[in-house]
Amino acid sequence: MTMTDDLGRGSDPLAIAQRWIGEGRKVALATVVETWGSAPRPVGSHLVIDGEGNFEGSVSGGCVEGAVVTEALDVIEGGAAKMLEFGVADETAWQVGLSCGGRIAVHVEPVA
Amino acid sequence: MERDVLTTLNRERAARRAAILVSDFENGISTLYREADTREGALGAALSSAFDSGKSGMVEIDGQKLFFNVHLPSARLVIIGAVHISQALAPMARIAGFDVEIVDPRSAFATPERFPDTVVTAEWPDKVLTERPLDAFTALVAVTHDPKIDDGPIEAALRAGAFYVGALGSRKTHSKRVDRLRASGLSDGEIARIRAPIGLSIGAASPAEIAVAVLAEVIQSLRSRGREQAERAA
């Protein structure tokens, strides 16, 4: 076993990002950069998104992926990175908040 | 992130080499640092500390906010010897998050029946370790009691800088082993890294209890990896 688990299993978001770019798809990479309180995925976790809204990986175990994908499509179109915050203190928490009560910051950037 | 940086990062990860991606979100620049690169100043100190802890996060350096994403290879445990201790150690280590592999050339020992859900290879270690080399993120546990089987992988693990090398055997057995390893050209400093008698001293009696003592010692070495390296260098 010379590869890390995820790389070996083909579900690794960074390996998928590289493959998608190789296939000519437009790609954005979302990364959990800070967490406060209980958060479902640790800092450094990735979600990779293509221009058609396909995605792999996770930044919250399912709580806010939908919102991150929507923002990522903007990032892919516009080319500028964004910092997103989700949590109970946030107004959007009622729509896409973290049920566990934590707060997370997610950075979304184009890979080009 | 630039595509080239992503490709380089993935290459490092596939080769089981530690790397940190440092991102400045203000200017959008991401830079990859490998553990082998020499580093100076405040950034260097922060990188060294992150390589040791394995923790990703925001870091402030000289007033500049940077994001460190630390990529360490997953920890492996290679057990030489498909013995009774290994039957307890393999599932325990798997639960603790290790990639576990057992190697024993004695085909009566190394059977899938004795080791369900574990990668077990009935081959000589030399052959297996050529195909899947040991590295700094691998622990080697040698428990066959047979120098013909144990000595080769112990030597290979020391040369590869495996984060843990443990060998079963009494102090008398170990002192003979030290003589043999010295004769094959290993330094006293390298040989001193072998944990023998194997396992933390918790008074373990049964094979399963010895497995607990061994796994605890492996985890202790994994989590103090950086400290041990610094001590060796000093």
Residue A25 pLDDT exceeds 90 = yes
Q: Which of A16, A33, A34 to mutate to test the interface with B (most CBs of B within 10 A)?
A: A33
Structural Rg of chain A based on CA atoms = 14
Tell me what ipTM this predicted complex has. Answer: 0.84
Please name the helix (run of DSSP H) or strand (run of DSSP E) that holds residue A20, with its range, or none. helix A13-22
Is A28 in contact with A108 (CB distance < 8 Å)? Answer: yes
Q: For chain B, list residues whose CB is within 8 angstroms of any CB belonging to chain A.
A: 1-3, 6-7, 9-10, 13-16, 23, 25, 28, 55-58, 67, 69-70, 73-74, 76, 99, 101, 119, 132-133
What pLDDT, on a 0 to 100 scale, did the predictor assign at position A3? 34
What pLDDT, on a 0 to 100 scale, did the predictor assign at position B87? 97
Q: Please state, in angstroms and rounded to a whole number, the distance separating the CA atoms of residues B19 and A86.
A: 28
Is A51 in contact with A76 (CB distance < 8 Å)? Answer: yes
Q: How many other β-carbons are positioned within 10 Å of the β-carbon of residue A37?
A: 12
Q: Which of B4, B10, B121 to mutate to test the interface with A (most CBs of A within 10 A)?
A: B10
Is B56 in contact with A43 (CB distance < 8 Å)? Answer: yes
What are the chain B neighbours of A33 within 8 Å (beta carbons)? 25, 57-58, 67
What pLDDT, on a 0 to 100 scale, did the predictor assign at position A38? 75
Decide if B69 and A44 are in contact by the 8 Å CB cutoff. Answer: yes
Decide if A1 and B67 are in contact by the 8 Å CB cutoff. Answer: no
Decide if A34 and B58 are in contact by the 8 Å CB cutoff. Answer: yes
What pLDDT, on a 0 to 100 scale, did the predictor assign at position A4? 41
What pLDDT, on a 0 to 100 scale, did the predictor assign at position A2? 30
What pLDDT, on a 0 to 100 scale, did the predictor assign at position A8? 45
Decide if B25 and A44 are in contact by the 8 Å CB cutoff. Answer: no
- State pLDDT tens for residues B27-55: 999 999 998 887 889 999 999 999 988 88
Instruction: Determine the structural domain holding residue A28 and report its residue range.
Output: 5-111
**Smallest Cα–Cα separation from B167: which of B156, A56, A71, B8?**
B156
Question: Nearest residue of B to residue A16 by CA position?
Answer: B10
What pLDDT, on a 0 to 100 scale, did the predictor assign at position B121? 97
Q: Mean per-residue pLDDT for B57-85?
A: 95
Decide if A2 and B132 are in contact by the 8 Å CB cutoff. Answer: yes
What pLDDT, on a 0 to 100 scale, did the predictor assign at position A91? 52
What pLDDT, on a 0 to 100 scale, did the predictor assign at position B210? 97
Residue A24 pLDDT exceeds 70 = yes
Q: How many other β-carbons are positioned within 10 Å of the β-carbon of residue B201?
A: 8
Considering only CB atoms, B25 lies closest to which of A1, A42, A83, namely A83
Q: Structural domain tally of chain A?
A: 1
Considering only CB atoms, A3 lies closest to which of B14, B69, B119, namely B14
Is A109 in contact with A49 (CB distance < 8 Å)? Answer: no
Residue A39, both tokens: 């958060």
The nearest CA of chain B is from the CA of A36 a distance in Å of 12
Extents of the domains making up chain B: 3-71, 76-230
The nearest CA of chain B is from the CA of A92 a distance in Å of 23
Q: Mean per-residue pLDDT for A5-33?
A: 85
Is B71 in contact with A45 (CB distance < 8 Å)? Answer: no
Structural Rg of chain B based on CA atoms = 20
Decide if A107 and B23 are in contact by the 8 Å CB cutoff. Answer: yes
- State pLDDT tens for residues A42-86: 899 999 999 999 999 999 877 788 999 999 999 999 989 999 998
- The values of phi and psi at residue B139, to 5°, are -105, 140
Q: Which of B13, B17, B71 to mutate to test the interface with A (most CBs of A within 10 A)?
A: B13
Looking at A95-99, B17-21, B43-47, B77-81, which range is the least confident one? A95-99
Q: Where residue B190 falls among pLDDT bands split at 50, 70, 90?
A: very high
Evaluate whether the domain defined by B76-230 bears CATH number 3.40.50.720. yes
Whether residue B125 is preceded by a cis peptide bond, meaning omega within 30 degrees of 0, is no
The CA–CA distances, whole Å, from B24 to A82, B18, B228 equal 13, 20, 31
